[in-house]
Copies of this chain bind each other. A is one copy, B any other.
């Protein structure tokens, strides 16, 4: 009988993972569960999977791993259940918005020693991968500066913003992860500032729609991140690592490669508006990496510590933005 992977949570991101698994891991059977069973059944029909009730998942003898794609508040609960069952976990980011909860997950994973990976999909994007390789191969020498721009095409719904944990935990968290992915030195200090320049309702919801974060690493390197909830030209996602020997930039992708030259100048395409379009292949590469890790062992591609650190940085950034002062950290690795 085939090995099974179960997805808990069949919303948007659960569907993305369901398709990525069927495309990249034809050797596994996919099992789907959702608090609303009809969603699991619908998705199962579309991708050729099997829908079950969530509690029944843990009893399945061939279950090898669960992909936790449910709402953020339920992540740690399912991580603990999987740890108890001795089942490997792929957990969507963030592990939790609450650092204490994250620490509970860290203990569960550490104590049970289950394979565990956080779904920071950007790490598996070919462009970011090539950027990382350039750094690891020494192409830029010692890292001195890191610049990250992440700007969404439009703000999420206001009711989402209300439960998102704020821009630093919801959006910048990917950039905190990217900084740790690319700069091999703990963060010792964070300064963050936010503004509301797009929609006053976001201010009423207690959040920012525009943010800048500065970080100092133990090595002396500095990271600068900027975020906006609304970029007219699409999902802007650029990273730049500058060092003693040169620079590597992870540039935007574009919708197509046709260019018009006329009397006004040259005209090319916008960047993809949807993160699923921009990161389409990243989700597939993510599952290939998780599968290798499950079977070949070794360190987790994105460990539970990698899940904790960006939350810690996001919490510090939020505090800095509130107090308008830099926040010292005990070296967030």
Contact = CB atoms under 8 A, between A and B. Distances in A.
A172 interface: no
A249 B271 CA distance: 15
A312 to B, nearest CB: 21
A107 B302 CA distance: 61
Contacts of A265: 233, 267-270
Given A257-B251, A262-B139, A263-B246, A222 B212 contact: yes
Interface stretch (A4-12, A122-130, A158-166, A303-311): A122-130
Given A142-B197, A145-B210, A257-B252, A247 B231 contact: yes
A222 B209 CA distance: 12
Which of A224, A252, A253 neighbours the largest number of chain B CB atoms within 10 Å of its CB?
A224
Given A151-B242, A197-B220, A260 B247 contact: yes
A228 B258 contact: no
DSSP class of A's interface residues: helix, strand, loop or mixed?
mixed
A53 interface: no
Contacts of A214: 191, 193, 212, 214, 224
B245 A262 contact: yes
Nearest to A126: B256
Interface string A114-144: 0000000000001111110010000111101
B258 A246 contact: no
A250 interface: yes
A289 interface: no
A249 B258 contact: yes
Interface string A191-234: 10101111000000000001010101000111010101011110
